[in-house]
Each structure stands twice: as structure tokens, then as C-alpha cells.
Amino acid sequence: MAPVVGGEVDARRLARVGLSRIAAPARASLREQLQAVGEVALWERLRAQHPGVDPRQDIEAAERVGARPLCPGDPDWPAGLDVLDRIGGDRSGDDGMPLVLWARGTAGLADITRRAVAVVGCRAATDYGLHQAQELGFGLAERGWTIVSGAAFGVDAAAHRGALAAGGSTIAVLAGGVDVPYPAAHADLLDEIAASGLVLSETPPGSPPYRRRFLTRNRIIAALGAGTVLVEAGVRSGALNTVRHARRLGRTVMAVPGPVTSAMSAGCHRLLRDQREETALVTCAGEVCEEIGEIGELAPRPSGPTRARDGLADLVLQLLDVMPARSAIGVAALARRVDCPPGTVLALLGPLAVEGLVEATPAGYRLTALGRSSSQAGGSRAAPRS
């Protein structure tokens, strides 16, 4: 739906902008009329009832802050939003596809949402939650994911900042107009986001961020991402609303566990218990990628610290177990203890001495300090292995 001055396409854009001023988001009744008669006819029918609404003024106001309207059918319109009209929502009926999206920034919305993930959580985040959100934002951005969030205090801002620190893209979806920084303290952060990513809103320029708009914008956050990660949330956190939208839209839902004593992680824990079949537990960016990335995009499994005896063959381990630590023992005596020919034992002792696990003395062989330790890191692992 590229703007063509004086043409039908431009008329559709102006109509959608005007309708969004009247009702943003579009409630079910308006969407039904829209499908029945089209944007232009519906706007012509309703504009007389709203003589003070001029869509061109909204477009000009957006241009003053470097923003533009995006409409369904535009090349830059993300396909992920289309599902909002195909899936039923709550009784309010205002959770369908946006009539128009106002985009502040030069990035292409369709491009940067091809690989996007929502990272959300509570405003009153703990240091733990802020750290996890920023680490996720950084790690996911490093892996080529766009971070979608709401620019609020706490988890949202930390996720945005993590993505920016990694030089990645991030999208802030606002409850008010794109020319109304909210919270005001995040004006500079929103400028940074717009410089490399996008600041989005479905409400027209100049619109204040009313409480209801925070809840309705959450469906856009959920729809833009392939999944939603809940980092930290109390049992009544508004971030859980984004999770509900994500589940309704068929998106992957993930939660980061926290201390069991923290009220700010109680919402995550309840989600993991009550919706355990539909919620993935994640602790790092790699695990998020494993849930929503391409086939084969797996997170490395933690294995703990490397130990000196890790990976040694059973016979070698048996030999070390029967070798004294302070006194020395001869090859023949060792062979009897492990029930093995002396020549085999002698062949094993050479590599073990090179590894520093055993040492030769005039009286025979004995364990070194490294050989006695089962937790100290080993060397090049030259000894025979299974």
C-alpha cells in the first residue's frame, strides 16, 4: 500500500489513519464494518461525526519526529500481525490487527521482525532480573535476533539496552504516540532505539499512554516475535498479559526461573508449574534460540568443571585408584592389584607420568598431587582413553 498522492492507495492510507484516530485499537464492531465496506467507504461514512479529525495532520505530526504510518498491505507490514485478525481474542474485542502502525526510525519493520523475539518482565525488577534481561538482549542480538519489548522501566529497558550494546536491532512498542516518550526518563533510550531499530505504536501521534493501551499494545509485542520470554514477573504482573497473548497466537512461551524466595519471580514459577506443557524453562540466549530458532540451533549443555581423571579408560582409573599417594609401589605389585600383565601396566604408566598424574621414584611409582585430586583441571589428556 505505497502512498500515491491523489490515488486510491493514498485514500486507503488516509482512511486508516483517520479511523485509527477515532478508534485505536479497532474494536470488533469497527473491524466488521471495515471488512464489509472497506476503509475508504467506512471513513467517508464516519468522518462527518468527527469533524476535528484530519489524518493529514497526524501524518505531518509523525513526520516531524521521523515517523511514518504503516498499513496492512504495505511491503514493510510484518506478516506476524495478520494472525491477530484470524484468531479470536477476549471479550473486549479490541485485540485484532492494528488499523495502522506508526513507525519511528529508518529500519524496515518486515526485515527486522523476520527473526524477532519478545523479552518482557516486571518494572520493579531486581538486580537479578535486570542482569538476566540485559544478558538475554545482548546474547540474542549477537545471534541476529531483534528484541521486541515495551520500553518500560525494569526488564523492558534492560533487554533493549542489551540489544543496543551488542549492536543489534530492537523494537519498542509504546502505549502512546511515537512522539510521546514514555516513561519520560527513557527519552534518550527511545532515541537510541529509533536510530538502529524502531519505535512503534498503533495510537496516533500525540496520544497519551492510557492504562488500557498498555494492555492492548501487548498483543503487538507478542505477535511481532516468534516467541515471548518472561524474565521476571510477580503473580499479578502486567507482563503476564503479553504471555497470554503469545499463547493465544500460538507463539512459543518461555520463562526464566529465579530465586524461590523472590516475589518478583513468583509469576515465572507459577507459569512453569501451571502451564508446564506449554512453557519452556530457559536460562540463556542459547536456550531461547533452541526453542525458536532453526533446526540444529542448539544450546551447549553445561558439563561442569573439567577434572583430571575425566575421560580416562576404566583400566587407567583402576590403576590410579590402587596406587599409593605417599609411599611408592613397583610395577609387579601394581599388576597384581589390577589383575593385569606387568607389561600392560608399564605401558600405561608412561603417559600418566607425562600427564603429571603419577611420578616415578627409585622405589617405584606413586600419585602426584594432581593424581590425588579428582577436581583439579587436567592437562592434555595423553593417557589412554575409552
Q: Report the alpha-carbon distance of residue 171 to residue 82 in Å, rounded.
A: 18
314-322 and 342-355 helices cross at what angle (nearest 10)?
90
> What's residue 376's pLDDT?
45
CA-CA-CA-CA torsion sign (102, 106, 110, 115): negative
314-322 and 331-338 helices cross at what angle (nearest 10)?
120
Half-sphere exposure of 74 (CA within 13 A, CB side): 25
- Comparing CA positions, the residue from 306, 283, 324 lying closest to residue 375 is 306
Q: Report the alpha-carbon distance of residue 132 to residue 339 in Å, rounded.
A: 53
Q: Report the alpha-carbon distance of residue 127 to residue 221 in Å, rounded.
A: 24
> Could you give the C-alpha distances from 278 to 40, 229, 268, 322, 378, in angstroms and in order?
42, 13, 13, 51, 42
Is the backbone peptide bond immediately before 25 cis, with ω within 30 degrees of 0?
A: yes
Q: Report the alpha-carbon distance of residue 187 to residue 179 in Å, rounded.
A: 10
DSSP code per residue over 138-159: HHHHHTTPEEEE---TTHHHHH
CB 120 within 8 A of CB 82: no
CA-CA-CA-CA torsion sign (174, 279, 238, 100): positive
> What's residue 132's pLDDT?
97
CB 131 within 8 A of CB 165: no
Neighbours of 144 (CB within 10 A): 12
- Comparing CA positions, the residue from 386, 382, 383, 353 lying closest to residue 370 is 353
CB 232 within 8 A of CB 129: yes
- Comparing CA positions, the residue from 147, 211, 223, 222 lying closest to residue 176 is 211
In the block, residue with C-alpha cell 520500553: 151
Neighbours of 368 (CB within 10 A): 16
Q: Which set of grid coordinates corresponds to residue 101? A: 502502525
- Give, for 318, the enclosing helix (H) or strand (E): helix 314-322
CA-CA-CA-CA torsion sign (134, 140, 143, 145): negative
Q: Report the alpha-carbon distance of residue 216 to residue 54 in Å, rounded.
A: 24
| Pairing of β 198-201 and β 227-230 | unpaired
> What's residue 374's pLDDT?
57
Q: Report the alpha-carbon distance of residue 161 to residue 156 in Å, rounded.
A: 9
CB 348 within 8 A of CB 315: yes
Q: What are the structural domains, with CATH classification, of the chain?
A: 64-292 (3.40.50.450), 314-372 (1.10.10.10)
- Give, for 349, the enclosing helix (H) or strand (E): helix 342-355
- In tens digits, what is the pLDDT along the chain, a chain of 386 residues? 444 443 444 888 999 999 988 876 656 677 778 888 888 888 888 888 888 888 999 999 999 999 999 999 899 999 899 888 776 555 445 578 899 999 999 999 999 999 999 999 999 999 999 999 999 999 999 999 999 999 999 999 999 999 999 999 999 999 999 999 999 999 999 999 999 999 999 999 999 988 888 888 999 999 999 999 999 999 988 899 999 999 999 999 999 999 999 999 999 999 999 998 899 999 999 999 999 987 766 767 766 677 777 778 888 888 888 988 889 999 999 999 989 899 998 999 988 888 888 899 988 999 998 888 754 444 444 444 43
Q: Report the alpha-carbon distance of residue 373 to residue 350 in Å, rounded.
A: 19
